[in-house]
Amino acid sequence: MASRARPLTSARGAALAAAFLGAMTLGTVAAVALHAGTARPGPADWSALRFTLLQAGLSAVISTALAIPVARALARRRFAGRGLLVTLMGAPFLLPVIVAILGLLAVFGRSGTLNGILAALNLPQISPYGLHGVLLAHVFLNLPLATRMILQGWQSIPAERFRLARSLALTPAAQFRHLELPMLRATLPGAALTIFTLCLASFATALTLGGGPAATTVELAIYQALRFDFAPDRAATLALIQFALTTAALLAGWALIRDAGFGAGLGRPPELPAPGGWRKGMDATAITLAAAFLLAPLAALVARGLPGLTDLPQGLIGATARSLAIALASTALATAAALALALATARKAPAHRLFDAAATFPLAASSLVIGTGLFLALRPFANPSDMAIPVTIATNATLALPYAYRLLAPPARSLHQDYARLSASLALTPVARLRLVTLPHLARPLGFGAGITAALSMGDLGVITLFAGQTNATLPLYIHSLMGSYRMEQAAAASLVLLTLSFALFALFDGIGRRHAPA
Amino acid sequence: MLQLDHLSLAADGFRLTADLSVPAGARVAIIGPSGAGKSTLLNAIAGFVTPQAGRILWDGGDLTGTDPGQRPVTILFQDQNLFPHLTIERNLALGLAPDGRLTPAIRARVADALNRTGLDGLAQRRPAGLSGGQQGRAALARALLRARPILLLDEPFAALGPALKAEMLALVTDVATETGATVLMVTHDPQDARRFAPLTILVADGTAHPPTDTAALFADPPKALDDYLGSGF
């Protein structure tokens, strides 16, 4: 009804945020591209590219394939602890990768539980390193994500279809072919592509479980080129390859990936038929195996780490303080930037399409590509070790921003539609409007987004590896160095600290948001 | 006096012109078919729709480029007149202090306005804790506090039953009398127009016609109004 909008207030905050994101994403790629010309990719680089594609492809296929029976069992069975298990499936997104890997090592490692059992049975030992180690970790981290996405697919089949199927007395096989297979055909590519894209940028997993000529990802190769070979030009070439990879994957799955991750409606009443007989046993097995696979590593980590908590190594306190400071600073930065962008986009401020794009760019960025770009651009001005903390804050804020922004954008839009005219007609001052209208309305998504940002930043082991010296390691990097010197009990204890702090930060911010949201 | 001087409003495929004036202190109904532009006309006076051409004047001063909140206008929308997460007291106080202050003096004036609109004791409730009629009263209480010379009503009581609506119109009359406001009220209902407004603006066929005597208009309706009201009226 309303015709042309009134002259709009400028969006200085959003413009500043967009400029920051542009510099962090396109700016760093430009810095990388300037240096990349002088080094052509060598055989080792091509092999890193091949390994990256191979492990990402296998991780995606295995995770989604294993998720199908688990999701179906969760969709059609009701049992005590089901809700908890579904919630738990959301947790690996926030779980620091280094913690997951220490958990997996506690079960599958050389001195882990499984090898202990195998040794007792006089069976050959297994090794968690190399391609299958990387795959193990990626499936551990992504099976829950795939399960949630496919579970959503199952729950989106309208109840009427199943009633019709039952009234026609379709056999389970016919029902699968006519109802569930079409759903899977629509859901699986998105789930697989999401996981493929996430695994393309795998760094911490490859750093700890991969390595060597046979198991190096492009991200890991960038790190090695910069830190060990002192070959910035080669790192730049690799960073350009990595950027092309993630951008291509992102463009391929644009529509599918944009809303992946945070689904609603996981607790709706069951409408799926729950067949008895052997199918019941199959579902119980799928759920038990999945729960054991996800919980055993964490239980083993707790068992291994608890005794060490009384004797924490020197240096842990400093690393913890640095990580907390980085997490809080990047949370403040990402949340403020996401809010400015979401509000400006909601009121269709001038250049709002650019703002929306700026909030999406970081999905195509990766920690090590940004890091390489900043390393090359800032090297003439400062010592890398001196820049470690600010660079990590800026990078973590950039990488978490798309999640915070996508959580804020829809409620910011409806806030604008419903109350912009009332606010304008009362001539609310900008401060009063922010304090009394905007913040209370957006408290929940703001708190949830800040919680995600804080937890991701706390657990991040990425760009810091390029910059940190001996004295300014973060907690994940400190744990990595403990692992490197084979102090596995201390590493396990420190990762319990990291695990607790990551989830405590998430709970803290999410709780603040819930408390301040209108009832 | 409110003047719409060769005003021309346009939105995709829609056009409305108005060249008329409303005497100060008048109570005017705006009636016409759905989609004719009644709400658009009100939103233009309130400052939410920018005219293609023409001017809006109040007492000779040009309002056309003024921000909505700086105009001598209070508008009641069809819905969302109160912030749902704020108490009634807060909602009303924003009408007096747009910076969100809540001083003892402001609270006393809010309490007085609540008292006069029959909302005693509801200051700490949120809008969801009030009935539809009480929400309408709260919005009118804020209009009373703001005491702007022009009061625009964009069918804020459309969802209320006939008895409650009559009660609201009586309260609007009280508020308008007390503040001396010029009232423009969009309505679908000829009853409302006859009961409340001595003057009526007919909006039809792309034109907002100058206000005419309500009783005379309905006694001998022009063709556009007759078509809208339907035969048998």
Contacts of B83 in chain A (CB under 8 A): 419, 422, 436-437
Nearest to B48 among A2, A419, A436 (CB): A2
CB contact under 8 A, A422 and B70: no
* DSSP single-letter state for residue A211: B
> Under a CB-based contact definition with an 8 Å cutoff, are residues A147 and A67 in contact?
yes
Q: What is the model's pLDDT at position A87? A: 86
pLDDT at A315: 86
- Cβ of B77 within 8 Å of Cβ of A422? The answer is yes
Contacts of A436 in chain B (CB under 8 A): 83, 86, 90, 94, 100
Question: Residues B189-197: contacts with CB within 8 Å, 24+ apart?
Answer: B190/B31, B190/B218, B190/B229, B190/B233, B192/B29, B192/B165, B193/B29, B193/B31, B193/B218, B194/B218, B195/B166, B195/B169, B196/B27, B196/B29, B196/B169, B196/B172, B197/B27, B197/B28, B197/B29
pLDDT digits (tens, 9 = 90+) for A44-88: 899 999 999 999 999 999 999 999 999 999 988 888 888 888 888
Contact between A3 and B100 using a beta-carbon 8 Å cutoff: no
Nearest to B100 among A4, A436, A441 (CB): A436
C-alpha B211/C-alpha B23 separation (Å) is 10
Three-state SS at A217: coil
- Asked if A185 has any chain B CB less than 8 Å from its own CB, the reply is no
- The yes-or-no verdict on residue A263 having pLDDT over 60 is no
Whole-number pLDDT of residue A260? 35
Cα B89 from chain centroid (whole Å): 22
pLDDT digit string (tens) for B18-54?
Answer: 999 999 999 999 998 888 889 999 999 999 989 999 9
Question: Are B99 and A429 an interchain contact pair (Cβ–Cβ within 8 Å)?
Answer: yes
CA distance A471 to chain B (A): 48
**DSSP string across A341-400:** HHHHHHTT-TTHHHHHHHTTGGGG--HHHHHHHHHHHHTTTS-HHHHHHHHHHHHHHHHH
- Residue A268 pLDDT > 60: no
User: How confident is the model over B180-227, as pLDDT tens digits?
Assistant: 999 999 988 888 888 889 999 999 889 999 999 999 998 888 888 888
Domain range summary for chain A, segments of one domain joined by +: 1-36+321-519, 37-261
pLDDT of residue A271: 63
3-state secondary structure of A512: helix
Mean pLDDT rounded to a whole number for chain A: 88
Q: pLDDT class for A222, splitting at 50, 70, 90? A: very high
Q: Does A430 touch chain B (CB under 8 A)?
A: no
Contact A3 B40 (CB under 8 A): yes
Cβ distance B77 to A432 less than 8 Å, yes or no, reads no
Shortest CB distance from B69 goes to which of A4, A419, A424?
A424
Domain at A1-36+321-519, CATH homologous superfamily:
MetI-like (1.10.3720.10)
B232 touches chain A (CB under 8 A): no
Residues of B in contact with A5 (CB under 8 A): 50
For the ranges A4-8, A329-333, B101-105, which has the lowest average pLDDT? A4-8
Interatomic CA distance for residues A277 and A295, integer angstroms = 27
| Cβ-defined contact of A436 to B39 (cutoff 8 Å) | no
C-beta atoms of A436 and B40 within 8 A? no
Interface test with B, best of A3, A4, A415, A434 (most B CBs within 10 A): A3
* 3-state helix/strand/coil string of A16-70: HHHHHHHHHHHHHHHHHHHHHCCCCCCHHHHHHHHHHHHHHHHHHHHHHHHHHHH
Q: pLDDT tens, A127-178? A: 888 998 999 999 999 999 999 999 988 887 777 777 777 778 788 788 888 8
- A430: which chain B residues are within 8 Å (Cβ-Cβ)? none
Is the domain covering A37-261 a CATH 1.10.3720.10 domain?
Answer: yes
> A37-261: same fold as A1-36+321-519?
yes
User: Percent of chain A beyond pLDDT 70?
Assistant: 95
Structure confidence at residue A255 (pLDDT): 61
A313: left (phi over 0), alpha (psi -120 to 50) or beta: beta
> Do the chains contact at B83 and A2, CB–CB below 8 Å?
no
Query: What CA–CA distance (Å, rounded) separates B185 from B199?
Result: 11
Tokens matching residue A164: 């019709």
Could you give the dihedral angle defined by the CA atoms of residues B172, B178, B180 and B185, in that order, rounded to the nearest 10 degrees? 0
Contact yes or no for B74 and A5 at CB 8 A: no
- What pTM, to 2 d.p., does this model score? 0.85
Q: How far from the centroid of its chain's Cα atoms is residue A132's Cα?
A: 21
On whether any CB of chain A is under 8 Å from the CB of B90, the answer is yes
